[in-house]
Chain A
Amino acid sequence: MNITLSGSAPPTDQIHDQIRGLVATGRLAAGERLPSVRQLAQDLGVAPGTVAKSYRALEAGGFVVSRAGSGTRVSPTASATPLPVMEAAQRLARASVNAGTDLDDTIRILRAVWPHQAAP
């Protein structure tokens, strides 16, 4: 899951908007840990204060929660994707890529193993 800075909008707004979009669409799971302010600032090539400001705005909007010692996580109520499902999906994607199985075949396999409810 990447975010990219481009255009003339302030970096603080771009970081805020992209993370908010990823949370709102469920691509970031509830409870998922975000990178530290320092790491994200280093990766994006911006000042740590810029990222910290974006995180504060996301926290104020209820998209993330920050706790001392456990960093910043996606708010449990902000994303529709449960964290265990997201992690399992990421593992499945990695396994499929390693095995040379394409997306369509992976979805077909997932459908085949999906537990069906017994007919009434």
Chain B
Amino acid sequence: MAVLYLLVFGPLAAGLILAFVWWLLWGRKAALPLGAARGFTLAAGLLALLGEFTVRLADVSMFLPLHVPRAFWLWYNDNQFAVPLLLGILGAILLTFPVRSRRGQGTAELTRRTPASFIRAGWFTAPGVVLAFILLITVLAGGASRPDSETGRYMTYWVEPGAQLGMGTRIYGWFYSVPALILAGVLTAVIIVSLFLIARPALEVNRERDIRERTIRARNVITGGTGALLLHLGLIFHSLSATSSMRGEFATAHGPVTITPPFSAFGPAFDGASIVCAVFGVALWAIVAFSAIPSLRRERGAVGS
């Protein structure tokens, strides 16, 4: 039982520890200043982390004295890959707040404020790479999927070594990936709109503090979005690991024949990638939540100044 809990909740715990270490080393210097943004940031981070915890709890609910309604299972079975992206979209929307429509006081900077004004170009590298991986795997797995014989959904992987032999299992086919791709597109759009709304208002009189707050908020939007994409990618790898573990043994005239998918050797790699993605996905959302923790040193200094 302990091993089961470790497998299910281990990545969650590892991600939280990783984020805590990051916060101890660097995060305390990058805390949000006092204000409403802290509350929304904490809510966004906790929403994503609680969502991830709930999903993992649901995975082991059969071993716990919990009654999970059948309707939830039916929904979750069809939409599990979309859950991290849905949480990512909700989180990114929360991180957009507070939206201000501030007018200036007769002073203006002659610098354009665009969605990219408070971020570094390199910050887009990680989500871009993760998104590219998702697209690549989606196309490969989708191309390998076949319609299910009963439902017609593209979610079955079929191996046919001979005319009379064949076996199938579930794969991350078009049935799962097309809605997830749409949600990934929505998440990207929400991130861009969020960065635009953070950058748009006129700068406050305390320009340095305002720029610092907007930089942290913009970074949180990208960090949270990357976390959501990583958690989604982790589920895809987990699914591919299950698909690659398919085994079949058939009795033939020449003796028993064992059949495995051509990519079965990648099973351990898929497992490892799934855990790594989950750990970093959780860590990124935890880093977002931790940025709402007050920076004691800075605020003490502010009070004393």
Q: A residues within 8 Å of B by Cβ?
A: 1-6, 19, 22, 28, 33-36, 39-40, 42-45, 71
Contacts and interface: CB of A to CB of B under 8 A. Distances in A.
B104 interface: yes
A115 to B, nearest CB: 28
Interface in B167-207: 200-203
B113 A35 contact: yes
Contacts of A40: 108, 110
Nearest to B101: A42
A43 B202 contact: yes
Interface string B78-113: 000000000000000000000000011111111111
Given A42-B202, A43-B203, A45-B103, A3 B112 contact: no
A33 B113 CA distance: 11
A76 B27 CA distance: 43
Instruction: Label chain A's interface by main secondary structure.
Output: mixed
Contacts of B201: 42
B104 A35 contact: no
A4 B28 CA distance: 35
Given A42-B202, A43-B202, A3 B110 contact: yes
- Interface size class on chain B is 10 to 19
Contacts of B111: 1, 35
Contact of A44 (B106, B112, B113, B200): B106
A71 B110 contact: no
Contacts of B107: 2-5, 43-44
Contact of B110 (A5, A22, A42): A22
Contact of B106 (A6, A19, A22): A6
A2 B202 contact: no
Interface of B: 103-113, 200-203
A2 B103 contact: no
A26 to B, nearest CB: 14
A33 B111 CA distance: 7
Contacts of B200: 39
A33 B103 contact: no
Contacts of A44: 104, 106-108
Given A42-B202, A43-B203, A34 B103 contact: no
A43 B109 contact: yes
22 contacts: A1-B109, A1-B110, A1-B111, A2-B107, A2-B110, A3-B107, A4-B107, A4-B108, A5-B107, A22-B110, A35-B111, A35-B113, A36-B112, A39-B108, A39-B112, A43-B109, A43-B203, A44-B104, A44-B106, A44-B107, A44-B108, A45-B106
A35 B111 CA distance: 6
A39 B201 CA distance: 8
B106 A39 contact: no
Contact of B108 (A3, A28, A71): A3
Given A36-B112, A42-B202, A45-B104, 7 more contacts: A3-B110, A5-B107, A19-B110, A28-B110, A33-B112, A34-B110, A34-B112
A36 B199 CA distance: 13
Nearest to A36: B112
Contacts of B109: 1-2, 35, 43
A3 B110 CA distance: 7
Nearest to A40: B108
A5 B106 CA distance: 5
Contacts of B110: 1-3, 19, 22, 28, 34-35, 40
Contacts of A28: 110
Which 6 A-B residue pairings sit nearest by Cβ, starting from the closest? A43-B108, A43-B104, A43-B202, A5-B106, A1-B110, A4-B107
A87 to B, nearest CB: 12
